């Protein structure tokens, strides 16, 4: 209860002009990056990560929260108007949004997307605020062996969730784990894989890994791609939208129904709590559930606002869900929470069971900003500057990617003022580019890198405590719970429904 009070009292921090400016700026940047096909809010956050050094922790986390929320709803803009989802989480929105656009109801579709996003974001944030303290208390029951099993569960789920490309995901996770082992050993004063380079003794820094993986790899991907953004810009320039067209009529909202919104929010929230699942999985499941339970399933994919509401409610509710494992266990649910974890770690905050008890004051403003972004900024910004958002895709590609490359490379210099980190970011960018190009999910590499040190440490500690007896993972109740949970996921994702690529599922 104290935490809930703390979060709501943190709204006063938004009255501070500096905090308010960064929240608004974060929201606009997140929306712009999510709306431009090829760019993501993850990239926006990766580029802004170095700048968090100069901000207070609270302000940095509040800006991150608003980028996150904006990133989930911004993708619906181009998904609806030009049938190109700005973000993967808006793929399902395009199914009904674009047909509505073709029927001349594009602005209304965007209004429904904003309404769904607002509802989903708010419910997700409220659930997070209400449940996170309890999850944190429960997490105190997880001891050393349980922590290893939990981390192993997270990594295994991330790998097997990449259905149809599990070996690729497994290899990517191994590459991440390899990167995590570079440097000084956590338990003994021994350096590993430094090959004589003193710069590597402290290990590979999180900053160049994130900047390389998301920003530099993105620039390289765009450089090698043949996608024609100019055509998208031309299509966008033809779209004429008036401000009043955005407001969905009450009859439409009634027709969609509170149940549809709420069910989609719950699906999104719980999908968000699973490591690696993310917004696209959440919106996909909510959409298919809405179609399954609908009395007129044949109308979906032809411009049914219910499809937009389900998809957008779910992907914004993911924001709240994904923060639960990130804050309570240090396990990021998706790439954006992985970067938020980086912001926490860079600022000396260690996520975990004690975080809610010891440093709740630093976390509460972030949750307040998350709720604020959902309730106020989504409908407000869409109404105020919605008609101009669609012009975002007209930004010159050459200038855009030159700016991203400059910010990425200089940003990686900021952490240590050494060019070594810049070279590391370039190396990580090239690695991530080739991983993406060959169908390897880079999120599993990133999670392998992030979870690797703790995974190794808890494995060694567990076995040291049990005198080398590996059955300790099956005899301790907390560990056994996560082992059983892992087996359940393996059964449902690998054995019962094996190697079915997500893309194939979506087209069914």
Q: Which residues bind another protein (CB under 8 A)?
A: 50-51, 53-54, 167-168, 170-171, 174-175, 177-178, 181, 185, 187-188, 190, 192-193, 216, 219-224, 226, 396-399, 401-403, 405-407, 409-410, 413-414, 417, 419, 422-423, 426, 429-430, 433-434, 437-438, 455-456, 459-460, 463-464, 467-468
CA 112 to chain centre: 22
Residue 358 or 469: the one with the smaller Cβ distance to another protein is: 469
Question: How many Å apart are CA 259 and CA 390, to the nearest integer?
Answer: 31
Residue 231 or 464: the one with the smaller Cβ distance to another protein is: 464
Residue 226 or 238: the one with the smaller Cβ distance to another protein is: 226
CB of 85 to another protein, least distance (A): 23
Residue 235 or 400: the one with the smaller Cβ distance to another protein is: 400
Residue 357 or 406: the one with the smaller Cβ distance to another protein is: 406
Q: Which two tokens stand for residue 471?
A: 């059955």
Q: What is the largest CA-CA distance in the chain?
A: 71
Residue 430 or 485: the one with the smaller Cβ distance to another protein is: 430
Residue 160 or 327: the one with the smaller Cβ distance to another protein is: 160
Question: How many Å apart are CA 135 and CA 327, to the nearest integer?
Answer: 10
CB of 488 to another protein, least distance (A): 22
Residue 39 or 455: the one with the smaller Cβ distance to another protein is: 455
Nearest one of 151, 167, 157, 159 to 453, comparing CA atoms: 151
Q: How many CB atoms are closer than 10 A to CB 17? A: 8
- φ/ψ of 37, rounded to 5, equals -55, 135
Residue 32 or 310: the one with the smaller Cβ distance to another protein is: 32
- Residue 491 CB-density burial (10 A; 0-12 exposed, 13-18 middle, 19+ buried): exposed
Question: How many Å apart are CA 489 and CA 160, to the nearest integer?
Answer: 8
CB of 241 to another protein, least distance (A): 29
- How big is the chain by its Cα radius of gyration, in Å? 22
Q: Which two tokens stand for residue 392?
A: 């975002």
Residues 6+ apart with CB under 8 A from 192: 181, 182, 183, 184, 185
CB of 303 to another protein, least distance (A): 35
| Axis crossing angle, helix 360-372 with helix 2-9, rounded to the nearest 10 | 60
CB of 341 to another protein, least distance (A): 21
CB of 494 to another protein, least distance (A): 14
CA 158 to chain centre: 13
Residue 54 or 507: the one with the smaller Cβ distance to another protein is: 54
CB of 67 to another protein, least distance (A): 16
Q: How many CB atoms are closer than 10 A to CB 1? A: 7
Question: How many Å apart are CA 168 and CA 441, to the nearest integer?
Answer: 7
Residue 51 or 253: the one with the smaller Cβ distance to another protein is: 51
CB of 98 to another protein, least distance (A): 28
Question: How many Å apart are CA 75 and CA 379, to the nearest integer?
Answer: 15
CB of 414 to another protein, least distance (A): 5
CB of 73 to another protein, least distance (A): 26
CB of 348 to another protein, least distance (A): 19
CB of 408 to another protein, least distance (A): 9
Helix, strand, or coil here: 193? Answer: coil
Question: How many Å apart are CA 446 and CA 452, to the nearest integer?
Answer: 10
Nearest one of 21, 32, 34 to 63, comparing CA atoms: 21
191 has which bridge partners? 184
- Residue 420 CB-density burial (10 A; 0-12 exposed, 13-18 middle, 19+ buried): middle
CA 62 to chain centre: 15
For 252-320, list the strands marked E by DSSP.
Answer: none
| Axis crossing angle, helix 335-346 with helix 305-329, rounded to the nearest 10 | 30
Question: How many Å apart are CA 63 and CA 26, to the nearest integer?
Answer: 5
Residue 308 or 428: the one with the smaller Cβ distance to another protein is: 428
CB of 207 to another protein, least distance (A): 13
Residues 6+ apart with CB under 8 A from 479: 145, 146, 148, 149, 462, 472, 473
Residue 375 or 460: the one with the smaller Cβ distance to another protein is: 460
Helix, strand, or coil here: 190? Answer: coil
């Amino acid at each position: 209860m104290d935490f809930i009070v703390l979060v709501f009292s943190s709204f006063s921090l938004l009255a501070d002009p500096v905090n308010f400016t960064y929240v608004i700026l974060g929201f606009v940047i997140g929306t712009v990056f999510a709306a431009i096909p090829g760019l993501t809010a993850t990239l926006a956050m990766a580029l802004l990560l170095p700048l968090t050094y100069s901000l207070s922790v609270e302000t940095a986390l509040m800006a991150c929260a608003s980028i996150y929320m904006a990133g989930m709803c911004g993708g619906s803009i181009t998904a609806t108007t030009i049938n190109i989802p700005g973000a993967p989480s808006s793929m399902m929105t395009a199914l009904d949004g674009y047909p509505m656009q073709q029927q001349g109801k594009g602005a209304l579709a965007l209004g429904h997307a904003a309404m769904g996003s607002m509802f989903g974001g708010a419910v997700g944030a409220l659930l997070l605020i209400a449940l996170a303290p309890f999850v944190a208390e429960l997490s105190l029951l997880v001891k050393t062996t349980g922590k290893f099993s939990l981390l192993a569960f997270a990594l295994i789920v991330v790998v097997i969730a990449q259905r149809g490309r599990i070996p690729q995901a497994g290899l990517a996770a191994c590459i991440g784990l390899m990167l995590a082992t570079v440097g000084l050993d956590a338990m003994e004063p021994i350096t590993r894989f430094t090959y004589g380079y003193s710069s590597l003794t402290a290990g590979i820094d999180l900053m160049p890994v994130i900047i390389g993986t998301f920003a530099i790899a993105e620039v390289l991907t765009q450089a090698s791609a043949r996608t024609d953004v100019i055509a998208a810009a031309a299509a966008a320039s033809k779209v004429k939208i008036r401000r009043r067209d955005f407001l969905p009529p009450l009859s439409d909202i009634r027709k969609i129904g509170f149940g549809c919104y709420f069910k989609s929010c719950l699906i999104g929230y719980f999908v968000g709590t699973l490591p690696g699942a993310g917004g696209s999985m959440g919106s996909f499941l909510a959409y298919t559930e809405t179609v399954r339970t609908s009395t007129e399933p044949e109308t979906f994919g032809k411009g049914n606002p219910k499809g937009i509401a389900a998809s957008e409610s779910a992907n914004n509710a993911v924001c709240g869900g994904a923060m639960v494992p990130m804050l309570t266990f240090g396990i990021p649910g998706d790439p954006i929470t992985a970067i938020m974890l980086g912001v926490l770690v860079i600022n000396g905050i260690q996520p975990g069971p004690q975080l809610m008890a010891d440093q709740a004051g630093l976390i509460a403003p972030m949750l307040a900003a998350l709720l604020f972004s959902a309730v106020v900024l989504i409908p407000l910004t869409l109404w105020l500057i919605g008609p101009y958002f669609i012009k975002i895709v007209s930004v010159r590609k050459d200038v855009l990617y030159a700016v991203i490359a400059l910010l990425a490379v200089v940003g990686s210099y900021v952490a240590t003022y050494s060019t070594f980190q810049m070279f590391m970011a370039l190396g990580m960018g090239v690695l991530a580019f080739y991983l993406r190009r060959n169908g390897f999910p880079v999120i599993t590499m990133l999670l392998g890198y992030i979870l690797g040190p703790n995974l190794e440490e808890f494995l060694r500690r567990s076995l040291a405590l049990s005198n080398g007896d590996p059955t300790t993972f099956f005899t301790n109740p907390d560990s056994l719970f996560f082992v059983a949970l892992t087996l359940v996921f393996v059964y449902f994702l690998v054995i019962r429904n094996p190697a079915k690529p997500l893309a194939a599922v979506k087209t069914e």
